[in-house]
Structure formats: structure tokens, C-alpha cells
């Protein structure tokens, strides 16, 4: 008989799950978010399923792989699925890890010419333009975390270059069953290839070398372990002693057939979300790192606002956007949205972080001030009248029609109030407020800590060349790819 981990210390847990409820915990903090993944990996007894768009060869990527390797050593069966947009930098590592009998790794929708990818872009654009944008970790088919974060330093405030602001959600209960089903569909998809097929199978010597490499990194970062232990303790308090929020929740996802262009309408995430969340009647708050509403989406948001529904949108400013070309196809809709009463905010490219990050405390290192404060929005969540979506889906054509996405819809006034309060308290600190002047021109209002308000008459911190390029690119007929 298999032993079970007691994930939540709530005497009503079994009853709540029988009633179709899910325990949820939103994770806007990078520290808690990495700790939650560590918690799942370290406490899993039988199986771990992980699915990611990006898994980088950096401190976070290596930390997670080492944790998975240690879990495999104690008998946990691990399935790791990574999209091939991730590139080939991890190939040697994945090849070595694949030698472990408890670690199985697959690559989704691989490039045919993996080391000469421009050839695929020329001859196989339709195939490789569809990517698995999913982010998901599941432990023992019982508890999971999803959201916007990939596995890389910048998603967890551990990068020397810049930091992403993001949102995840930890969930336990009824909705996890569907997350497992979705993972299995992707894992068994014709587009999922084993590392043995693409890279080759590692040797015992390679596996031993990678273990020694990770052990050396672990000894080098001894403070990391103690800090992670304290994070585990804190998360355990949240999970076992904090009043757990139970709610009706729905795990939503695109079918893997979408990556082949063959998914039916009911198999698409946005169709599922619209069906569950319904049409807004009071308010809609939308946070999307990459926001390309298109003409149709703009008309929809404008109509909501004109019907007296409060619509508030947060996306990246031009300089904050790490995919600047996307901004070209968003900027052309700004005036229309503002003219129709939609509240529009753009994330600042620099946010002062006065305190040391968890990574700095953990390793004793110092992130350069420029890299520490350089910021970009990466979160994807929205709420409509007491229902909240948190996941990987951006409000753009790429998420709607090209990439596969996942997320959790939670029916909870409490969670929606948490999201609204979070935005109310921090929006003016982290974002510019956009308004129109009497001549119909956009003004960016920057609210300083001392109460001073600075008006910008063009995209803040941008150069003339950046603005010219943004405008020039917007004339290209490629909005459908954004």
C-alpha cells in the first residue's frame, strides 16, 4: 500500500475534495514560488510530472534538476516534458539524466534541424510556430503549481540582468485530476519525443559526472540550502496552519492537437475560460505581459466599458517589454481603449528593490543594482466578477491560436478581492497610468514615492529610434503571430 503525503493539515480536506472543491494559494512572491516547487519535489513519494516551455542552464534550472535527481534517487518516478524552443544548451545534461531509471525526459515539437534552426524557420514555419507554452508541476497526482513562471533565474529574482514580475497558483484537490489528464495527453502526444530519440541515451559515467557537478554546486552554495530549508518551513506553515481557502476550481488547457493545428473549438483554452467565467457584468481586471487585443478584442473591451463595466488593464511599457515587437501591435489600440473608458497601465522598466532578494540572502552574492531593478511584467491573470484565472495564457493571438496554454480558473470572491487589493496597492508604484489630454494625445503619468507626478508625452525611457521602429513594424501583416 502506497503511503501518502499529508499536503494540507485540514480535517475537512477529504470532505471538501469529495464536494468537488480545491485548496488554492496564489503566489505573487518569487521566493514562495520557488519554495513551492521545491516543496512538491522534496515531499513527493511516488511521482512527479513537470511540463515547461523554458528550462535554462542557470542557477535555478540546475537547482531544480538537482532536486529532481535526488527525488529520483529516493525512488520517485519523474516525467519531465520540455518544449524544444528551449534550445540545445541542456542537451548534454538531459542526455546524462536520461540514464537514471526513474527519470524520463521528453522534448515537445522538436525542430528537425535542431542545431541549424533557421532552416526550420524557412521550410517548416507552420510546424515550429506552434509551441508548448505550458508551465506545470504535479506531485503524486495530488497537488500542483501552474502560472506564468518558467524555470530560469529571471523568473525568481535571481538574475544579474533583469527580473520578471509574475504570478503562480498552488492548488490541491479536485482540479488536480484534470491537470494529470492534460499532462498525460501531452506526454503521449505524437509531438513528444524521448531524449534517446533526439539526443541519445547517456552513460552511467555521464550520470555520475552530473551528480558530482550538482554536488559541487550545492557545496559552493551552502547558504542556499539553509535558506531553502527556511522557505520550506514557512511554506509548511502556510499549507498546514494557515486557513486554507477552498473553492470551486477548473483546470483549463489547450489540447496538444492545437500544436498541429487540429484542435476543435471546445478543446481550446480560451473557449473553456469564456464558458466558465461568462460575460462580465460588473468589472474585469486583466494583467497580460504580452497584450495584443486585436481589432475584435479592442471592440469587445470597449463595449464592456461603454456598458458601465469597469475594465482595467496592466501590460508592459515599450522599454519594459522583453519582446518589443509585440508592443508594436498593441500600441495601435491604446487610444481607442482610452477613448472608451478602459483604464490602461503600463509596467515600468525599472523598479527599485531596496531589500536584498532571497537569492542574495541565500548565496551571499550581490545582484548589480542595474540588474536588480531592471524589470519586466511576465504575469498572466485576470478576474471577472468573482472568478479568477491564473496561468500561462496571454491576451494575444499567439496564446489564442498558436501556442498551447494552461491555467486554473477559481470561483472565489476572496481570491478576486486579493487580486484587486494587490493591484490597488501597487499599480501606481510599478506602472505608468495612461490618459488622454484635451487634444487626444496619450500622456503617461508616473507617480513617485514622494507624491510627485511626472508627465511623459511619449513612451517613457524610450528613444526616438525605438518609437520609430515600433511604429514601422506595426505595418507588417504579422499580428496573427504575436
The whole-number pLDDT of residue 7 equals 81
Catalytic residue (choose from 100, 327, 348, 380): 380
Using CB atoms within 10 Å of the CB of residue 86, give its burial: 0 to 12 exposed, 13 to 18 middle, 19+ buried. buried
Residue 299: inside a domain: yes
Are both 236 and 300 inside the same structural domain? no
Residue 11: inside a domain: no
Catalytic residue (choose from 39, 100, 135, 255): 135
What whole-number distance in Å separates Cα of residue 461 and Cα of residue 47? 48
Cell 557545496 appears where?
219
Catalytic residue (choose from 227, 378, 383, 459): 378
**Domain end call among 241, 262, 280:** 241
Are both 229 and 264 inside the same structural domain? no
Q: Assess whether 140 carries a catalytic annotation.
A: yes
Are both 176 and 133 inside the same structural domain? yes
Residue 4: inside a domain: no
Q: Which residues contact 129 (CB under 8 A, 6 or more apart)?
A: 402, 481
Residues 413 and 422 sit within 8 Å (Cβ to Cβ)? no
Are both 284 and 201 inside the same structural domain? no
The whole-number pLDDT of residue 400 equals 96
Using CB atoms within 10 Å of the CB of residue 292, give its burial: 0 to 12 exposed, 13 to 18 middle, 19+ buried. buried
Are both 103 and 226 inside the same structural domain? yes
**Domain end call among 217, 241, 265:** 241
The whole-number pLDDT of residue 11 equals 78
The whole-number pLDDT of residue 227 equals 60
Residue 106, strand partner residues: 81, 194
Are both 143 and 261 inside the same structural domain? no
Are both 190 and 305 inside the same structural domain? no
Residue 1: inside a domain: no
Inter-CA distances, 399 with 134, 258, 404, 405, 446, Å: 10, 11, 7, 7, 30
How do the pLDDT tens digits run along the chain, 482 residues long?
Answer: 355 667 877 778 889 899 999 999 999 999 889 989 999 999 999 999 999 999 999 999 999 999 999 999 999 999 999 999 998 999 999 999 999 999 999 999 999 999 999 999 999 999 999 999 999 999 999 999 999 999 999 999 999 999 999 999 999 999 999 999 999 999 999 999 999 999 998 899 999 999 998 888 766 655 456 666 666 666 666 656 566 789 999 999 999 999 999 999 999 999 999 999 999 999 999 999 999 999 999 999 999 999 999 999 999 999 999 999 999 999 999 999 999 999 999 999 999 888 888 888 777 788 999 999 999 999 999 999 999 999 999 999 999 999 999 999 999 999 999 999 999 999 999 999 999 999 999 999 999 988 899 999 999 999 999 999 999 999 999 999 88
Q: Assess whether 120 carries a catalytic annotation.
A: no
Are both 395 and 298 inside the same structural domain? yes
Are both 266 and 182 inside the same structural domain? no
Number of structural domains in the chain: 2
Are both 38 and 77 inside the same structural domain? yes
Q: Assess whether 385 carries a catalytic annotation.
A: yes
Could you give the 3-state DSSP secondary structure of residue 201? Answer: coil
Decide the pairing of beta strands 310-316 and 283-288: parallel
Residue 468: inside a domain: yes
Q: Is 461 left (phi over 0), alpha (psi -120 to 50) or beta?
A: left
Side-chain-side CA neighbours of 38 within 13 Å: the count stands at 25
Write the CATH number for 380.
3.30.870.10
Cβ count near 153 (within 10 Å): 21
Using CB atoms within 10 Å of the CB of residue 212, give its burial: 0 to 12 exposed, 13 to 18 middle, 19+ buried. exposed
Using CB atoms within 10 Å of the CB of residue 124, give its burial: 0 to 12 exposed, 13 to 18 middle, 19+ buried. middle
Residue 77's domain comprises 17-241
Residues 304 and 280 sit within 8 Å (Cβ to Cβ)? yes
Are both 184 and 292 inside the same structural domain? no
Catalytic residue (choose from 211, 385, 401, 456): 385
Strands, DSSP E only, in 318-386?
343-347, 375-377, 380-384
**Domain end call among 185, 207, 241:** 241
Residue 10: inside a domain: no
DSSP 402: I
Cβ count near 322 (within 10 Å): 15
Catalytic residue (choose from 28, 49, 84, 140): 140
Q: Is 453 left (phi over 0), alpha (psi -120 to 50) or beta?
A: beta
Using CB atoms within 10 Å of the CB of residue 465, give its burial: 0 to 12 exposed, 13 to 18 middle, 19+ buried. exposed
Catalytic residue (choose from 100, 130, 133, 258): 133
DSSP annotation string for 82-138? EEGGG-STTHHHHHHHTTSTTEEEEEES--SSTTSHHHHHHH-HHHHT--B--EEEE
- State the DSSP H helix or E strand holding residue 241, giving kind and residue range, or none if neither: none
Residue 247: inside a domain: no
DSSP annotation string for 451-469? S-EEEESSSTT--HHHHHH
Q: Is 166 left (phi over 0), alpha (psi -120 to 50) or beta?
A: beta
**Among 284, 250, 285, 246, CA closest to 269:** 250
Are both 263 and 158 inside the same structural domain? no
Residue 12: inside a domain: no
Q: Assess whether 133 carries a catalytic annotation.
A: yes
**Among 388, 375, 350, CA closest to 249:** 388
Amino acid at each position: 500500500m502506497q503511503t501518502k503525503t499529508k499536503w494540507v493539515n485540514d480535517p475537512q480536506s477529504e470532505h471538501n475534495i469529495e464536494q468537488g472543491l480545491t485548496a488554492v494559494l496564489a503566489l505573487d512572491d518569487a521566493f514562495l514560488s520557488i519554495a513551492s516547487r521545491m516543496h512538491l519535489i522534496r515531499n513527493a513519494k511516488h511521482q512527479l510530472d513537470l511540463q515547461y516551455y523554458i528550462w535554462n542552464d542557470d542557477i535555478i534550472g540546475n537547482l531544480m534538476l538537482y532536486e529532481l535527481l535526488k527525488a529520483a534517487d529516493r525512488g520517485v518516478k519523474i516525467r519531465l516534458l520540455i518544449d524544444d524552443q528551449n534550445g540545445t544548451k541542456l542537451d548534454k545534461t538531459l542526455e546524462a539524466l536520461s540514464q537514471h531509471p526513474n527519470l524520463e525526459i521528453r522534448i515537445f515539437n522538436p525542430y528537425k534541424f535542431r542545431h541549424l534552426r533557421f532552416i526550420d524557420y524557412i521550410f517548416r514555419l507552420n510546424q515550429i510556430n506552434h509551441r508548448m507554452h505550458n508551465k506545470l508541476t504535479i506531485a503524486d497526482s495530488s497537488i500542483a503549481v501552474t502560472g506564468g513562471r518558467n524555470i530560469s533565474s529571471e523568473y525568481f529574482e535571481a538574475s544579474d540582468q533583469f527580473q520578471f514580475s509574475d504570478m503562480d497558483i498552488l492548488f490541491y484537490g479536485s482540479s488536480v485530476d484534470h491537470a494529470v489528464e492534460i499532462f498525460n495527453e501531452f506526454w503521449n502526444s505524437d509531438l513528444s519525443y524521448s531524449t534517446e530519440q533526439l539526443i541519445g541515451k547517456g552513460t552511467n559515467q555521464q550520470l555520475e559526472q552530473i551528480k558530482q557537478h550538482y554536488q559541487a554546486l550545492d557545496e559552493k552554495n551552502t547558504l542556499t540550502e539553509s535558506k531553502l530549508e527556511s522557505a520550506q518551513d514557512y511554506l509548511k506553515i502556510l499549507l498546514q496552519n494557515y486557513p486554507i481557502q477552498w473553492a470551486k476550481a477548473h483546470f483549463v488547457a489547450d489540447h496538444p492537437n492545437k500544436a498541429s493545428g487540429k484542435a476543435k473549438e471546445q478543446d481550446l483554452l480560451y473557449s473553456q475560460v469564456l464558458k466558465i467565467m461568462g460575460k462580465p457584468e460588473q468589472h474585469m481586471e486583466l494583467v497580460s505581459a504580452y497584450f495584443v487585443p486585436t481589432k475584435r478584442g479592442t471592440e469587445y473591451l470597449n463595449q464592456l466599458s461603454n456598458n458601465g463595466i469597469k475594465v482595467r488593464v496592466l501590460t508592459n511599457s515599450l522599454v519594459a517589454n522583453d519582446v518589443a515587437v509585440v508592443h508594436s501591435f498593441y500600441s495601435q489600440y491604446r487610444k481607442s481603449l482610452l477613448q472608451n473608458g478602459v483604464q490602461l497601465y503600463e509596467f515600468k522598466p525599472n523598479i527599485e528593490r531596496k531589500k536584498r532578494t532571497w537569492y542574495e540572502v541565500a548565496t551571499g552574492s550581490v545582484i548589480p543594482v542595474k540588474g536588480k531593478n531592471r524589470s519586466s511584467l511576465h504575469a498572466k491573470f485576470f478576474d471577472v466578477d468573482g472568478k479568477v484565472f491564473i496561468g500561462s495564457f496571454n491576451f494575444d493571438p499567439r496564446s489564442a491560436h498558436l501556442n498551447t496554454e494552461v491555467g486554473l480558473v477559481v470561483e472565489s470572491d476572496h481570491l478576486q478581492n486579493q487580486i484587486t487589493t494587490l493591484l490597488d496597492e501597487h499599480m501606481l508604484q510599478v506602472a505608468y497610468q495612461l490618459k488622454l489630454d484635451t487634444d487626444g494625445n496619450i500622456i503617461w503619468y508616473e507617480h513617485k514615492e514622494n507624491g510627485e507626478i511626472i508627465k511623459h508625452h511619449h513612451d517613457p525611457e524610450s528613444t526616438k529610434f525605438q518609437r520609430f521602429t515600433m511604429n514601422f513594424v506595426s505595418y507588417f501583416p504579422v499580428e496573427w503571430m504575436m
